[in-house]
Amino acid sequence: KIAIFWFRRDLRLHDNAGLYYALRSGYPVVPLFIFDRNILDDLEEKTDARLTFIHKAVSEIRQALRQKEADIMVEYGFPEKIWENLVAGHDIAEVYTNTDYEPYATDRDKAIYRILKQKDIVFKTCKDQVIFEKQEILSGQGSPYTVFTPYSRAWKQKLNDFYLKSYPTKKYFRHFHQWHGSALPSLREMGFEKTDYDFPPADVDDTLLKNYAKERDFPAMEATSRIGVHLRFGTVSIRDLARQARAHSDTFLNELIWRDFYQQILSNFPHVGKGDAFRKAYDLIKWRYDKADFKKWCEGKTGYPLVDAGMRQLNAIGFMHNRVRMVTASFLSKHLLIDWRLGEAYFAQKLLDYDLAANNGGWQWAAGSGTDAAPYFRIFNPASQAEKFDPKMEYIKKWVPEFGTDEYPEPMVDHKEARERCLQAYKTALDKA
Ligand code: FAD
């Protein structure tokens, strides 16, 4: 009999909760990774850098396992079908994995649970991706927090060394099943092309953290960690990172708390992950579905240089600075009055660190429909944001080289008029509710 450990968005051998419990199960452990066609078939770009990232991470896991005479089973297909074959072909006692809180993953895991249960195979899911799950931080009344500040206070109060302890997986590596698997399916075999994008390193410099509070809002300074993609796919451990944050930067720790916050919002209020506004009244807003305007925003040709710089950064490298994400998202939903869901989907397609909970949280915050949002009548002015956060226009000049020449377009909307149009549309909708 064997135990299977199923890797998903936790692509590391070190400090991995589910893997640790699998290795201590008493059964020889066979690791598994599935290139999931339910997800892959929906990707629009055949050169999606995220696939290259995942492929590389899985290959590295395999290399490390092979040094221990162990291996990883790597499948390409539909998880339900794959699991049906696995239970038919192997004598499996237990299956371990780490909880994934997104709606697709939750439904998929329910289906796998049923397949395993028919054969009396135990399916154990572990907390690994967050410090605190949805039921762990609740208000005095036992309900989830919907405002960040009290949530973060309660989060910090609950935190102690126990929650940040690494799982010592290495001590138990001898419990991997000793075998030799077949080759990884190549990207090309799965219909994708390798990208030669330079991914950011999987560690954060202590000096960066020390300067983080004062520099993180200035996009030209590149003073943020870029660790998002590693958190997304689990190539770093959130516990390691939170320990480092606790030692060097409370502001950075706070950002990691935002991550937990939006994860618990998605778990406790699943409607946000299914296309609905967190505050339902905001679904009464009459959005403009102007394709030409949306295209200008996507391409970074709005005539507002900070917005354009952000969109071009996103299109070029799959990353956008947080301050600029707020400005571009606000510009789409408020200045252009275009449904934030279109922007959310565009970011989802482009961001290497795309994460449903954080992306949805960020978009609904910007559109005013989310948790903890500023009142809708507070509308970012993209020009003054640029003056304040890119005073020497370094970020703008880097991404919009033609800024200041005839080639650069006039602003596509007038700030004042757009602001009025937005206030009117929001007011009409919210008065109805
Ligand atoms: P750092 O500033 O170095 O922060 C470290 C980590 O903290 C981040 O990697 C991230 O995991 C977490 N974090 C920081 N800010 C937030 C936040 N506001 N909400 C949740 N987690 C946070 N973040 C994503 O991880 N994926 C997304 O798809 C995403 N979409 C966003 C969309 C919009 C409209 C907005 C306004 C924000 C979005 N964010 C998203 C949050 C934030 O912009 C990014 O996490 C951050 O810019 C990533 O860069 P970094 O790794 O250098 O962050």
Residue range 179-188, pLDDT digits in tens: 999 899 999 9
Q: How many residues in total does the chain contain?
A: 433
Q: Please choose from 255, 333, 363 the residue to mutate so as to test ligand 1's pocket, defined by most ligand atoms within 8 A of CB.
A: 255
Lowest mean pLDDT among 26-40, 69-83, 191-205: 191-205
List domains and CATH numbers for the chain: 1-129 (3.40.50.620), 130-163+206-268 (1.25.40.80), 273-432 (1.10.579.10)
Whether 6 is a known active-site residue: answer no
Query: What is the model's pLDDT at position 31?
Result: 98
Average pLDDT along the chain: 97
Question: pTM of the entire structure?
Answer: 0.97
Given 133, 136, 255, 394, which residue is catalytic? Answer: 255
Mean pLDDT computed over 238-264: 98
Helix and strand numbers (H, E) in the chain are 19, 5
* pLDDT for 425 beyond 90: yes
362 touches ligand 1 (CB under 6 Å): yes
Whether 83 is a known active-site residue: answer no
Question: Of 411, 406, 217, 396, which Cα lies nearest the Cα of 309?
Answer: 396
Pairing of strands 92-98, 73-77: unpaired
Percent of the chain's residues with pLDDT above 70: 100
Query: What is the model's pLDDT at position 378?
Result: 85
**Which segments of 170-237 does DSSP mark as H helices, in order?**
206-215, 228-233
Query: What is the model's pLDDT at position 332?
Result: 98
Query: What is the model's pLDDT at position 197?
Result: 83
Q: How confident is the model at residue 432 (pLDDT cuts 50, 70, 90)?
A: confident
**Residue 260 is labelled as binding a ligand:** yes
* pLDDT for 34 beyond 80: yes
Q: Please choose from 53, 214, 306, 325 the residue to mutate so as to test ligand 1's pocket, defined by most ligand atoms within 8 A of CB.
A: 325
Lowest mean pLDDT among 83-97, 178-192, 364-378: 364-378
Amino acid making up residue 145: Y
Whether 322 is a known active-site residue: answer yes
**What would the pLDDT profile of 381-392 be if each residue is shown by its tens digit?**
999 999 999 999
* pLDDT for 373 beyond 90: no
354 touches ligand 1 (CB under 6 Å): yes
How much distance in Å is there from the Cα of 228 to the middle of ligand 1?
6
